[in-house]
A and B are shown apart, each in its own frame.
Chain A
Amino acid sequence: MIIPNKNIKMMQGNIACAEAALAAGCNFFAGYPITPSSEIAEVLSKKLPIIGGNFIQMEDEIAAMGAVIGASLGGAKSLTATSGPGFSLKQENIGFAIMAETPTVIVNVQRGGPSTGLPTLSAQADVMQSRWGTHGDHSIIVICPSSVEETYYMTIKAFNLSEKYRTPVILLTDEIIGHLTEKIEIPDSSKLEIINRIKPDMNQKEYLPYKITDSLVPPMANFGEGYRYHVTGLAHDETGFPTNDPEKTTEMLMRLYNKIEKHRDDIVEVEEYNTDDMDTLIIAYGSTSRSAKRAIVNATKEGYKVGLLSLKTIWPFAEKEIENMAKKVDRIIVPEMNLGQIAHEVEWATRRAKPIIKINHINGEPITPNEILAYIKQGK
């Protein structure tokens, strides 16, 4: 037996998400009960009042999304958490947050769908919904943890990216990770990098809430700070007021798109494993990347040369990284708990230069290492 370190805990993924939100400075949560994400709300209902923050259970998912946007405009760092059906309901207001450039974090602990689907079982089938769920063209940041520890750090990253880029960020986790309890060392809060939104420093008359700046991210004033500006989901110009002017509309929408796409190198994160000497590449994300890693460990023992590219950022897509990696191998295996949502993107990123083998589950059961191993062995 050892002397326990008080910072080392056995913690569930959802609880790590709630704890990390607090570490990131979250002081507002609005949500609606839904499996398998409810633990996040439960923990925050207990902890937010202690720090004088707000926890509110809203009347529905739509209201919860509205409330986190309103809170963000009021200066809060806000969070909501949901799963499939609730994520569908939130989509319109997610679009509002994108359009009005309101930082907030949305956690989607994925479960089986469509519809009520498999509430207590896992899926990764909201990959495309997280990208295109709201109407209209736009870019979005979606990040995806594969462990409890990653859930902790990526929740903080989600807040940081949302504040830095004035945009909603989606933490796309899944039931397996959300409900998994594993070892985590809680970092000293002084060692965490916490990013807060940039505030305007000019006077009220000169403030343009949607100004086209070099960074593409204009400073954001909170309501009540003396900058009386207008926020709307309508197409607007730099002043924030509605416009139908084609030039100004294009300018604004392109800025919203480019502020993410042009900073993709700052946003996109991937992790390589065993990629030095490989003929087969597995591209995986979330809980499935752990199955892939185990399959690789076992395959390596049997002499197969397999590497893993684990996607930590789902959107913007790691197109460049995948294209480069694909050059080194004969084939690519993409296991995912959907019918090929990321595999399709991989096909596109690699221009189908290499054969792509898809392993898909839509029954709530995880893809096992043995299943992946069987595909590794095929044709080799």
Chain B
Amino acid sequence: MDYLNYLRQDKMPHIWCDGCGHGIILKSILRVVDQLGWEKNNIALVSGIGCSGRTPGYVDFNTLHTTHGRAISFATGLKLANPKLHVIVVSGDGDATAIGGNHFIHAARRNLDINLIVFNNNIYGMTGGQCSPTTKTTKKATTTPYGNPDSAFDISKLAEAAGASYVARSTTYHVAKLDKYIKDSFLTKGFSVVEAYSSCPTSYGKMNKETGKTGLQMLMYQKDNTVPLQKAQKMTQAQLEGKFITGVFVEKDKPDYTENYAKVIQTAKQQ
């Protein structure tokens, strides 16, 4: 495939740093779009604020760069107003689960057919490396210089508990799986979440030595510390400390919001 066909080449170079994992996720999305043969006119890519938020600017779709944390709510209106659009939301860990946490869980509960891809790099990159809801306890950030006293969210489990139709997690190292999950999520009716572990060498890597400092080192860290879900289920909590658990957490065929709302319309018209 020709990636350039999907990119707004005049918007290059992009703003992502050397070694950032976000470009890997973007390529994965574009490969899936290409495989599915989706028409560019029928795709809307919606984002919030942050490094992930800049993604829409680079792709040749209908693109919407909203306010911080609110991408899902804009996407909800857009999808309802024009159900023919494939609505993809890209969001960072802070955007999706801190400021946008309420929209995230309610979108999963509502189960409208929107595809959310969370670029999870455990940090606020754009604003200079502050801790996020997925920064683990004791880890450092520019706002946790003595180590993070907070606990981290598990984004996939959060999506699962809130009722999403499809939830899966991969990493920017495990790209083949990432492609598969994104593709399956795009084909699932209802709200889907693909959590993609990304890496931020500029902020996270610099402050937390165990992951390595360069993009390549951080990718290798993902490789060495990833445990597939099936294997993880046989391991103890202690053994799983610091590991990335990847795999498909939810894959359900259940009525989505549009189906339920169609029934509302039907009932309303009969009365």
Contact = CB atoms under 8 A, between A and B. Distances in A.
B4 interface: no
Interface string B139-159: 000000000000000000000
B63 A74 contact: no
Interface residues of A, number: 44
Interface residues of B, number: 40
Interface string B61-78: 111111100101111111
A161 interface: no
Contacts of B65: 230-234
B76 A56 contact: yes
A62 B99 CA distance: 11
A139 B265 CA distance: 38
A71 B81 contact: yes
A66 B70 contact: yes
B44 interface: yes
Interface string B253-271: 0000000010011011100
Interface string A314-340: 000000000000000000000000000
B84 interface: yes
Contact of A72 (B62, B77, B103): B77
Interface stretch (A144-152, A166-174, A188-196, A220-228): A220-228
Contacts of A60: 102
Given A67-B77, A93-B70, A74 B85 contact: yes
A262 to B, nearest CB: 28
Given A74-B85, A241-B11, A58 B76 contact: yes
A246 interface: no
A92 interface: yes
Contact of A233 (B41, B44, B67, B265): B67
Given A54-B261, A63-B70, A224-B42, A70 B75 contact: yes
A231 B64 contact: yes
Contacts of B70: 62-63, 66, 93
Contacts of A68: 77
Contacts of B80: 28, 54, 56, 67, 71, 74, 76
Contacts of B268: 46, 49-50
A241 to B, nearest CB: 6
Interface in A35-72: 46, 49-50, 52, 54, 56, 58-60, 62-72
Given A49-B268, A66-B76, A228-B40, A75 B81 contact: yes
Centre residue among A62, A224, A228 by max chain B CB count within 10 A: A224
A66 B84 CA distance: 20
A132 interface: no
A38 B79 CA distance: 24
A50 B264 CA distance: 9
Interface string A265-305: 00000000000000000000000000000000000000000
A83 interface: no
A224 B85 contact: yes
Interface string B187-216: 000000000000000000000000000000
A21 interface: no
A229 interface: yes
Interface in B55-108: 56-57, 60-67, 70, 72-82, 84-85, 102-103, 105-106
A70 to B, nearest CB: 3
Interface in A86-102: 92-93, 96
B80 to A, nearest CB: 5
A366 interface: no
A94 B11 CA distance: 27
A30 interface: yes
Nearest to B85: A224
A11 interface: no
Contacts of A76: 77, 80-81
A241 B269 contact: no
Given A228-B60, A228-B61, A63 B106 contact: yes
Contacts of A92: 67
Given A59-B102, A231-B65, A233-B66, A74 B82 contact: yes
Nearest to B265: A49
Given A63-B76, A68-B77, A73-B78, A224 B44 contact: yes
A25 interface: no
Nearest to A47: B268
Given A75-B82, A224-B82, A224-B84, A67 B41 contact: no
Contacts of A66: 66-67, 70, 72-74, 76-77, 103
Which of A64, A65, A74, A232: most chain B CB closer than 10 A? Answer: A74
Contacts of B79: 70, 74
B73 A70 contact: yes
A225 B62 CA distance: 9
Interface of A: 28, 30, 46, 49-50, 52, 54, 56, 58-60, 62-76, 78, 92-93, 96, 222-226, 228-234, 241-242
Nearest 3 A/B pairs, CB to CB: A74-B81, A70-B77, A66-B73
Given A63-B70, A223-B44, 17 more contacts: A46-B268, A59-B102, A59-B105, A66-B73, A69-B66, A71-B77, A71-B78, A71-B80, A71-B81, A73-B64, A76-B77, A96-B66, A222-B82, A224-B85, A228-B63, A230-B63, A232-B64
14 contacts: A28-B81, A58-B76, A59-B102, A64-B73, A66-B73, A67-B73, A69-B66, A71-B81, A72-B77, A74-B85, A92-B67, A224-B84, A225-B41, A230-B56
